């Protein structure tokens, strides 16, 4: 197997194919072989796993996944990588490469078609310019056992943040609604070519099998979350009144009181069950 993380292998390989990195496609390739090895190991990839990889690049993580998984499907948008991947991962008969934009894929359909009888997982060194839309699509697909991804460290911290901490955001609530996050390890910028400006981190999201909260209207719940964070340092009452004009200030205060919360409560300190209580209360008022 070609060690694609070895810079003395990678550089001539890229040059041979006249390949130049595309910043627009978020191309920072791994040049430290411990990183893809550890991602595949810590993700728990084994022969029972069907792994969706996003953005194989020249295949460092793809190799480690294909060595361990029952099947790997890798979605790559940059077709210039085709002849390179043929050399670096062409030997794996449990690997299928799909050429296209991952955001255009019907992910649940793809998982059903490609991984029958396998435990679906997603694993990737994500292109950072579309981290949020990709994670949103992977979690909303509700078909993976786990999602293990490398992202910017500050995004990983945001995903795993606790209520009341500065990193806690609407995106935190979204991710923790679907999954339990665990920060795995940091990856310094020097582990990539070209080196990004930021430190990266690998995060493991164990998806929830049954959602442990009683939420009657999911769309309304997420609307409450967005409204609560839209006016970050303000009281929840203000955020609700502005996000739900039909409530007005008085209605927002009534909703908060009916949930038994302090009138001065702020969205950035609230847990998912507390957001759920507010959403359910708004629904109840609608009758
Ligand atoms: N996995 C490789 C590695 O670790 O060295 C490459 C990771 S690089 C950060 C991101 C990869 O995602 C690139 O190969 C890039 O071409 C690909 N990519 C970017 N946008 C994409 C999209 N919308 N759909 C699928 N792949 C995409």
Domain chopping of the chain, boundaries? 7-207, 218-285
pLDDT more than 70, % of the chain? 100
**Is any atom of ligand 1 closer than 6 Å to the C-beta of 59?**
no
30 touches ligand 1 (CB under 6 Å)? yes
Closest Cα to atom 22 of ligand 1: 101
The predicted pLDDT at position 176 comes to: 98
**pLDDT above 90 (res 196):** yes
Ligand 1 centroid from CA 127, angstroms: 5
Q: How far is the CA of 159 from the centre of ligand 1 (A)?
A: 21
Ligand 1 centre to CA of 222 (Å) is 29
Minimal-distance CA residue to ligand 1 atom 11: 55
Task: Indicate if the pLDDT at residue 4 is higher than 90.
Answer: yes
pLDDT, residue 243, reads 94
CATH number for region 7-207: 3.40.50.150
Whether the CB of 192 sits within 6 Å of ligand 1: no
**Mean pLDDT confidence for 224-229:** 95
Whether residue 26 has its Cβ less than 6 Å from ligand 1: yes
Q: Looking at ligand 1, which residue's alpha carbon is closest to its atom 5?
A: 29
Ligand 1 midpoint to CA 135 (Å): 14
Statement: residue 232 has pLDDT above 80: no
Q: Is the pLDDT of residue 210 over 90?
A: no
Q: Please provide the average confidence, as pLDDT, over all residues in the chain.
A: 96
| 27 in contact with ligand 1, CB cutoff 6 A | yes
pLDDT at 250: 94
Over range 45-71, report the average pLDDT. Answer: 98
Residue 169 confidence (pLDDT) above 80: yes
Report the pLDDT value the prediction gives residue 61, as an integer from 0 to 100. Answer: 98
Mean pLDDT of 166-187: 97
Atom of ligand 1 nearest to the CA of 102: 24
Please indicate whether residue 55, judged by its CB atom, sits closer than 6 Å to ligand 1: yes
Can you tell me the mean pLDDT for 169-194? 97
CA distance 252 to 239: 9
- Residue 16: pLDDT band with limits 50, 70, 90: very high
Residue nearest to ligand 1 atom 21, measured at CA: 77
Residue 69: per-residue pLDDT? 98
Residue 233, pLDDT score:
77
Nearest protein CA to atom 20 of ligand 1, as residue: 25
High-pLDDT (> 90) share of the chain, %: 95
Window from 51-55, 134-138, 235-239 with minimum mean pLDDT? 235-239
Would the CB of 174 count as within 6 Å of ligand 1? no
The pLDDT assigned to 231 comes to 80
| Residue 287, pLDDT above cutoff 90 | no
Cα 77 to ligand 1 centre (Å): 7
Return the residue whose CA atom lies nearest to atom 1 of ligand 1: 56
Q: Is the pLDDT of residue 137 over 80?
A: yes
Average pLDDT over residues 21-39: 97
CA of 29 to the centre of ligand 1 (A): 9
Q: What is the CATH number of domain 218-285?
A: 1.10.8.100
Atom of ligand 1 nearest to the CA of 103: 23
């Amino acid at each position: 197997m070609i060690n694609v993380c070895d810079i003395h292998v990678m550089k001539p390989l890229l040059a041979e194919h006249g390949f130049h990195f595309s910043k627009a496609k978020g191309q920072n390739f791994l040049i430290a072989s411990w990183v893809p090895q550890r991602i595949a190991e810590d993700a728990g990839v084994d022969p029972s796993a069907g792994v969706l990889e996003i953005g194989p690049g020249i295949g460092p993580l793809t190799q480690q996944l294909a060595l361990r998984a029952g099947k790997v499907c890798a979605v790559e948008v940059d077709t210039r990588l085709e002849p390179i991947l043929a050399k670096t991962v062409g030997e794996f008969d449990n690997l299928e490469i799909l050429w296209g934009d991952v955001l255009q894929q019907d992910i649940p359909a793809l998982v059903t078609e490609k991984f029958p009888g396998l435990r679906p997982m997603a694993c990737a060194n994500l292109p950072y310019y579309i981290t949020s839309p990709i994670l949103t699509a992977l979690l909303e697909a509700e078909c993976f056992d786990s999602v293990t991804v490398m992202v910017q460290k500050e995004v990983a911290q945001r995903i795993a943040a606790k209520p009341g901490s500065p990193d806690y955001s609407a995106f935190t609530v979204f991710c923790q609604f679907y999954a339990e996050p665990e920060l795995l390890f940091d990856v310094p910028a020097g582990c990539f070519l070209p080196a990004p400006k930021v430190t990266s981190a690998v995060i493991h999201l164990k998806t929830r099998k049954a959602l442990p909260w009683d939420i009657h209207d999911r769309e309304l719940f997420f609307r409450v979350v967005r409204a609560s964070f839209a006016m970050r340092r303000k009281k929840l009452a203000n955020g609700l009144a502005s996000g739900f004009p039909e409530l007005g200030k008085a209605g927002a205060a009534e909703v908060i009181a009916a949930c038994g919360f302090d009138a001065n409560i702020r969205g950035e300190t609230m847990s998912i069950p507390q957001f759920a209580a507010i959403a359910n209360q708004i629904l109840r008022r609608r009758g």
